[in-house]
Amino acid sequence: MNNKSLKLLVEKFILYLRERNFSLETIRAYKSDLNEFINFLKTEFPDKQIDDINRFILRSYFHYLEKGKTYQVHRSTIARKIYTLRSFFKFLIRLEIIKVNPLEYLSTPKIDKRLPVFLTEDEMAKLLDFNKQNYKFGIRDQAILELLYSSGLRVSELVSINIDDIDFFGEMVRVIGKGNKERLVPIGETALKYLHQYLKFRNKIVNDNSEKALFVNHRNKRINVRSIRNIVNKWIRLASIQKHISPHKIRHSFATHLLNAGCDLRSVQEMLGHKNLGTTQIYTHVNIDKLKQVYHKAHPRG
């Protein structure tokens, strides 16, 4: 296998994804998956060419993912890697480098549906009401947490927000979601209040008027995704909440709490920026479980 030429093809594929406005997180995942596959080929099938890749090689790779690594790979991760390779081979067919997609009829492992992990309303209140005033960036962190929960944003969407994207009068935030698609999402009064307070703090510390980012780090530059994760981890720990909660799980909490309160599924889909209603429907399973508990407690013969 000519490792160098294959890497060049991967770079062409990544460029194609950028031109199609795929999100940075998706592009990173695709690139990581393909580089892992290249390293596997280099080790296990060094003499094979790109058009020699067949079902046997691919099944060997998936067996390697399931059994041959030092850490467990979830079925959902393997399914994603299969999807990445299938897309890559389709791209190579388009370039007329190969004629047949070796993944065309290869089945994807069945994925067990896992209910999303989320904070209860009491746990969310505990996180948001925890006193952050004694910390230099406490008001910024409070505004971040409030906005994540108030609007159900993805972390990548949150970090890309500029000051001008917040409409305080209309109580909306403009976000650029997956596929570079723009949407408007409501912001609650509490989140707007803390955003007002944070902007006063921001104006005192940021001297560079060219910095348009809403949320900035200690260097007064746009905050990144990793920093948001660290912020959430920090306050989860300090608030003594005994759950492993990522920023994305606050998004799960947003959706679950809205549906539990009677919000219709289509509206939640619109706010989350989901392309398919089926993606949003997983949150109804959480709601159904709650309904079942109420039913069994209340019904005479439940």
Q: Which two tokens stand for residue 50?
A: 């790109």
Write the pLDDT tens digit of every residue in 43-56.
888 888 888 888 88
My answer on whether 141 and 288 are in the same domain is yes
Query: What was the pLDDT predicted at 181?
Result: 82
Q: Lowest-pLDDT range, 130-134, 259-263, 284-288?
A: 284-288
My answer on whether 145 and 214 are in the same domain is yes
My answer on whether 223 and 261 are in the same domain is yes
CATH code, 256: 1.10.443.10
283 counts as catalytic: yes
Query: What was the pLDDT predicted at 2?
Result: 54
274 counts as catalytic: yes
Query: What was the pLDDT predicted at 70?
Result: 46
How far is residue 77's CA from residue 72's CA, in Å, rounded to a whole number?
10
How far is residue 232's CA from residue 294's CA, in Å, rounded to a whole number?
32
My answer on whether 269 and 156 are in the same domain is yes
The gap from C-alpha 2 to its chain's centroid, in whole angstroms, comes to 34
Point out the catalytic residue in the list 249, 251, 252, 257.
251
Residue 175 within a domain: yes
My answer on whether 88 and 126 are in the same domain is no
How far is residue 293's CA from residue 287's CA, in Å, rounded to a whole number?
10
237 counts as catalytic: no
Residue 23: give the domain boundaries. 3-94
Question: Total domain count for the chain?
Answer: 2
How far is residue 8's CA from residue 292's CA, in Å, rounded to a whole number?
54
Residue 284 within a domain: yes
Mean pLDDT of the 196-203 span: 95
Range ranked top by mean pLDDT from 65-74, 197-206, 287-296: 197-206
Residue 108 within a domain: no
Residue 116 within a domain: no
Which amino acid, one-letter code, is at 179?
G
My answer on whether 85 and 129 are in the same domain is no
My answer on whether 161 and 228 are in the same domain is yes
Point out the catalytic residue in the list 81, 132, 154, 257.
154
Mean pLDDT of the 59-81 span: 73
174 counts as catalytic: no
257 counts as catalytic: no
Which amino acid, one-letter code, is at 86?
R
pLDDT, mean over the chain? 86
My answer on whether 17 and 81 are in the same domain is yes
The gap from C-alpha 271 to its chain's centroid, in whole angstroms, comes to 15
Edge-to-edge strand list for the sheet holding 172-176:
166-167, 172-176, 182-186
Residue 113 within a domain: no
Contact 158, 147 (CB under 8 A): yes
> What does the DSSP 8-state code read for residue 221?
S
When pLDDT is cut at 50, 70 and 90, the band that residue 68 belongs to is low
How far CA 156 is from CA of 51, 125, 175, 223, 225, in Å, comes to 37, 24, 10, 10, 6
My answer on whether 204 and 274 are in the same domain is yes
When pLDDT is cut at 50, 70 and 90, the band that residue 1 belongs to is very low
My answer on whether 134 and 283 are in the same domain is yes
CATH code, 77: 1.10.150
Residue 274 within a domain: yes
Q: Which two tokens stand for residue 27?
A: 């592009």
How far is residue 254's CA from residue 127's CA, in Å, rounded to a whole number?
14
My answer on whether 68 and 200 are in the same domain is no
Residue 100 within a domain: no
212 counts as catalytic: no
Point out the catalytic residue in the list 86, 126, 183, 274.
274
At what angle are helices 121-129 and 247-260 packed, to 10 degrees? Answer: 130
Point out the catalytic residue in the list 80, 86, 183, 248.
248
Which amino acid, one-letter code, is at 287?
N
Q: Which residue has the higher pLDDT, 301 or 28?
A: 28
Closest listed residue to residue 190, CA positions, set 252, 129, 250: 129
My answer on whether 90 and 127 are in the same domain is no
Residue 170 within a domain: yes
Mean pLDDT of the 197-217 span: 91
> What does the DSSP 8-state code read for residue 172?
E
pTM tops 0.85: no
